[in-house]
Amino acid sequence: MISIRNIHKSYLNGQNSLHVLKGIDLDVAAGDMISVMGASGSGKSTLLNILGILDTYDQGEYILGGVKIKRLNERKAAQLRNRMLGFVFQSFNLISFKNAMENVAMPLYYQHVKRKKRNLIALEYLDKMGIREWAHHLPNELSGGQKQRVAIARALITQPKVILADEPTGALDSVTSLEVMDQLHEINKSGITMIIVTHEHDIAARTRKTIRITDGLITDIVEN
Ligand code: ADP
Ligand code: MG
């Protein structure tokens, strides 16, 4: 599903260049569930953003679902993101003035699905996540775990092939974290490939394989 070879990425900060990814190789098979660990600043989010076609890379090769991801214009990149990828973030990234149902339905708005239809589909996904009764609540009326379930439902509504999650349990207590991980497991069982960045060992241990990034390089791969 995902194949990257010798990926390099530097950021320019004024006169200085910061070499963040220093030659990453990674293969993720369709249906796999892997975690990425590493110290703060080691390049985990940078890697995830490249995998999510949210950021570009300087050198190397990235193939996603058979498509070479290099110098895509924004329209093509957005198309691929829409068709292939779902995102889950630590901070949920919900729109504060839209209710849970409307947040989940948002990706379908961008696919020009009519409001009534997209809201109905959103309700189905909220139901799958066990929070249908919260459909008409605003994000600030939801607990952290409920917000993350809304965000996961929003990631699923376009039926992505791959879910990219950047510290999805980073803002949750440990019990809620494990519940959210259980749900991510269920989603993975339905065949969706999953890549989860985390710095929690018990979260990583629930994935099939953990990749450790140290200072921009993969230094360890452990089967869990
Ligand atoms: P991690 O997610 O592992 O904590 P990141 O990938 O976010 O690390 O960041 C790696 C390094 O790149 C850090 O030193 C960070 O400050 C730097 N960095 C990340 N994004 C940018 C950016 N857009 N511009 C400049 N530097 C960045
Ligand atoms: Mg990060």
Over residues 165-202, the pLDDT tens digits come to: 999 999 999 999 999 999 999 999 999 999 999 999 99
Quote the CA–CA distance of 190 and 113 in Å, as a whole number: 24
Quote the CA–CA distance of 136 and 103 in Å, as a whole number: 10
Note the CATH architecture for domain 30-42+74-223: 3-Layer(aba) Sandwich (3.40)
Q: Residues whose CB is under 5 A from ligand 2 (ion)? A: 44-45
Non-local CB neighbours of 163 within 8 Å, separated by 6+ positions: 85, 86, 87, 88, 152, 155, 156, 184, 187, 192, 193, 194, 195
Q: pLDDT digit string (tens) for 11-44?
A: 998 889 999 999 999 999 999 999 999 999 999 9
Question: For the whole model, what pTM was predicted?
Answer: 0.95
- State if residue 44 touches ligand 1 by the CB under 6 angstroms criterion: yes
- State if residue 43 touches ligand 1 by the CB under 6 angstroms criterion: yes
* Distance (Å) from CA 73 to ligand 2 centroid: 25
Could you tell me the residue ranges of all domains in the chain? Answer: 30-42+74-223
* Distance (Å) from CA 9 to ligand 1 centroid: 10
